[in-house]
Amino acid sequence: MPSLLERYASFLPITDRTPRITLGEGATPLVRSLWLERETGIDEVWLKCEGANPTGSFKDRGMVVAVAKALETGSRAVLCASTGNTAASAAAYAARAGLPCTVVLPAGYVAVGKLVQAIAFGARIVAVRGAFDAALAIVRELGESGEATLVNSINPHRIEGQKTAALEICEALGDAPDALFIPVGNAGNITAYWRGFTQAHDAGIARSKPRLYGFQAEGAAPIVRGMPVADPRTVATAIRIGAPASWAGAVRARDESGGAIEAVSDEEIMDAYREVARHDGVFCEPASAAAIAGLRKRASVRATKDTRRAVCVLTGNGLKDPDTARSLAGELLEVDATADAVRRALALA
């Protein structure tokens, strides 16, 4: 399979001189959810499983473009702030490109799987006593010196790469879906999907464009509230963001597509997180489950009655956050190593 940069060269800001780096990003599975079709009454519900990307999240699509362009322009290092997935992805692609990578994280609020990826890929890691928003302000300032290329989604190449997921969806379905459900944190991805669907339409890959429905966590819902949130709180640490950098892009995606940006509670997120794994065999991280929680919430008030075909974007792999997964169960049953003892334990379980 040709790499993402090769497949989508005509849609991306790359030249003959852009190094065609790859870790095998993109071309992720689109899996049908019979469970959500039953529950919502929608004819077709599809899950775009972005956790299947090389570092386990959608960030790889944008990072491969951002790091390739950094190489092309002679950059000597990359730098980002992150709730975790951007850091894991930046660290991996920087390693691949032979560039040093610095990541600034909100102390205490990065899921352990993401942190260990940044460590494994050899990033320089600094945790700050503040939320993601403070970390982003810091790397913006550090980036001004020009020593390192900022690879947060304020780097326009990130959005360009991430839009390829929308192109893939249109290719797989033969058209755009009626509605797309997606979590919103820093709001880069919803911005990227809208650009991707618009360009798919212009290029004749899709006859229609979808309505985009974005979901923030109730305790971290600045776009829904219409003002920044100083102390964002949610179990979904990936989207624990109070002042999204791509706010305007998200509002444009919402309004031009005729969609909405709404809030879901941590309980709704955790319920969707557990149920999609148990019914569909798809293990996503809590932030990703916000998309499913949002779809279920709209369906429960019949707000999906004009939707025949829906796609939920599952942005990250469940293995990223083993602590949250482990908290779903209590102590394991532990018994003597005999069939009898196991049979007795199972009778109690």
Task: Return residues touching ligand AN7 (CB under 6 A).
Answer: 57, 82-86, 153, 183-189, 238-239, 285, 287-288, 315-316
Is residue 86 within 8 A of residue 68, CB to CB? The reply is: no
Least distance in angstroms from the C-beta of 132 to ligand AN7: 6
Nearer to ligand AN7, 18 or 159 (CB): 159
* Neighbouring C-alpha atoms within 13 Å toward the C-beta of 182: 30
Nearer to ligand AN7, 83 or 198 (CB): 83
Q: Is the dihedral of CA 140, 100, 184, 83 positive or negative?
A: negative
Query: What are the percentages of helix, strand and coil residues in the chain, rounded to 5?
Result: 45, 15, 40
* Cβ atoms within 10 Å of 278's Cβ, excluding its own: 12
Strands 44-49 and 30-32: antiparallel
Nearer to ligand AN7, 14 or 184 (CB): 184
Residues in Cβ contact with 62 at an 8 Å cutoff, skipping those fewer than 6 apart: 153, 157, 158, 159, 160, 161, 162, 188, 192
Nearer to ligand AN7, 4 or 139 (CB): 139
Least distance in angstroms from the C-beta of 58 to ligand AN7: 7
Q: Could you write out the DSSP letters of every residue in 45-73?
A: EEEEEGGGSTTSBTHHHHHHHHHHHHHHT
Least distance in angstroms from the C-beta of 209 to ligand AN7: 19
Nearer to ligand AN7, 82 or 164 (CB): 82
| Cα–Cα distance measured from residue 65 to residue 76, given in angstroms and rounded to the nearest whole number | 16
Nearer to ligand AN7, 165 or 239 (CB): 239
Nearer to ligand AN7, 85 or 199 (CB): 85
Least distance in angstroms from the C-beta of 86 to ligand AN7: 3
DSSP state of 265: -
Nearer to ligand AN7, 18 or 110 (CB): 110
Least distance in angstroms from the C-beta of 197 to ligand AN7: 15
Go through 136-152 and write b for each residue having 16 or more CB atoms within 10 A of its CB, e for each that does not: bebbeeebeeeebbbbb
Least distance in angstroms from the C-beta of 339 to ligand AN7: 42
- The distance of Cα 213 from the centroid of its chain, to the nearest Å, equals 14
- The distance of Cα 268 from the centroid of its chain, to the nearest Å, equals 18
| Cα–Cα distance measured from residue 299 to residue 309, given in angstroms and rounded to the nearest whole number | 13
Least distance in angstroms from the C-beta of 274 to ligand AN7: 17
Going through the chain in order, the beta strands assigned E by DSSP cover: 30-32, 44-49, 78-81, 101-106, 124-128, 149-150, 179-183, 211-217, 260-264, 309-314
Least distance in angstroms from the C-beta of 239 to ligand AN7: 5
Nearer to ligand AN7, 18 or 89 (CB): 89
* Cβ atoms within 10 Å of 189's Cβ, excluding its own: 30
Least distance in angstroms from the C-beta of 50 to ligand AN7: 8
